[in-house]
């Protein structure tokens, strides 16, 4: 079964246009997946299901691969983040200096 290439973004929203421009610039090739997902993350703040489907169709990549890449890399998130993010260093130097007491 072949998947039709999506010619235009689902809406005229500026975010969708930016993502579509990135896809066109990279030539609609599967090797652009991580770069396109990064653009989606910048535009929407997280990777929505409908956007993952659009990226899958536009790049000709199976949805399972797009989801696999999105869940493998810690840079990507599938849910909206809170207003504030707390990060605690868990490296050896921080652990010795008792960063775990927070």
Alpha-carbon span 18 to 39, nearest angstrom: 8
What's the pLDDT tens digit per position in 42-63? 988 899 898 899 999 999 999 9
Question: Residue 69 — pLDDT band, cuts 50, 70, 90?
Answer: very high
Percent of the chain with pLDDT over 90: 32
Listed in sequence order, the DSSP H helices in 31-101 are 33-44, 49-59, 63-72, 92-96
Q: How far is CA 91 from CA 15, 51, 83, 85, in A?
A: 36, 35, 25, 18
Read off the pTM: 0.69
Q: How many Cβ atoms sit within 10 Å of the Cβ of residue 64?
A: 9
Alpha-carbon span 47 to 54, nearest angstrom: 11
């Amino acid at each position: 079964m072949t998947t039709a290439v999506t010619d235009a973004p689902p809406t005229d929203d500026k975010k969708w246009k930016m993502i579509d421009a990135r896809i066109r610039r990279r030539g609609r090739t599967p090797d652009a997946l991580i770069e396109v997902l990064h653009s989606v993350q910048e535009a929407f703040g997280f990777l929505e299901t409908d956007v993952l489907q659009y990226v899958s169709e536009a790049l000709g990549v199976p949805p399972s691969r797009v989801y696999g890449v999105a869940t493998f890399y810690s840079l990507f998130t599938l849910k909206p983040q809170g207003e504030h993010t707390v990060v605690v260093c868990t490296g050896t130097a921080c652990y010795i200096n008792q960063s775990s007491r927070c």
